[in-house]
A = this chain, B = another copy of it.
Amino acid sequence: MSPRAVVLLSGGLDSATVLAIARHEGFETYALTFRYGQRHQIEVDAARKVAASLGAARHVVLDIDLRAFGGSALTSDLAVPKDRHPSSMSAEIPPTYVPARNTIFLSFALGWAEVLESNDIFIGVNALDYSGYPDCRPEYVAAFERMAQLATRRGVEGQQTLVVHAPLIQLSKADIIRRGMGLGVNFGLTWSCYDPPSDGKPCGHCDACFLRTRGFLEAGVADPGFY
């Protein structure tokens, strides 16, 4: 029997690549997506298609209402910044940062992993072509992993170690795209834009659109999505 892994899946190209990597490494994959009050549901639909196309054993979509707290352009009426200069993306934390989002997502993944008797969680965080979010850095992932050891049965009963895999953390967006294509990811199913206009197409001006467009350019391949 293949070992099981819980894979956080947003519907974007990073987490789609991570799901393909987990499968490639021999895991039976359990994909976990959140409707957390983000501006649109397109990415949840994208996550469903990606999970099905990459053979996830199960895909759970959980509702959690981060709008109850606000504090982010993705979960409130704050404006999503457009056409930011690339240099400012790593220099400041933008309003699209959602407080503690990755910690909340990883915590749910930890709970599901324990129920599945899985020792492996995969997350598509990236410390290079990212938006300056604190919870995308290697030292954060390592600290979560240490906490997770103590948080569950394994911490008391001396069972196997829990590993938080972040296989993209040191890759450029172009590297991620190449890696995903090599593993058969259909990026045409994925979605990146933070703030699509009502026509259902990407805005082309937010950080996520910028990073995606530049990534495909640098990888030298055409984006099979809406871009």
- Give residues in A with beta carbon < 8 Å to B: 60, 62-66, 68-71, 93, 97-104, 106-108, 110-112, 114-115, 132, 134-135, 137, 139-140, 143-144, 146-153, 155-157
Counting every copy of the chain, the complex holds 2
Chain B hits for A151, CB < 8 A: 100, 102-103, 134-135, 140, 143-144
- Are B110 and A99 interface neighbours, CB within 8 A? yes
Compute how far the CA of A101 lies from the CA of B155 in the bound complex, rounded to whole angstroms: 14
Compute how far the CA of A70 lies from the CA of B115 in the bound complex, rounded to whole angstroms: 7
Compute how far the CA of A134 lies from the CA of B156 in the bound complex, rounded to whole angstroms: 6
Are A140 and B147 also in contact (CB < 8 A) when A62-B64, A100-B108, A153-B93 are? Answer: yes
The answer, among B65, B66, B103, for a CB contact under 8 Å with A148, is B103
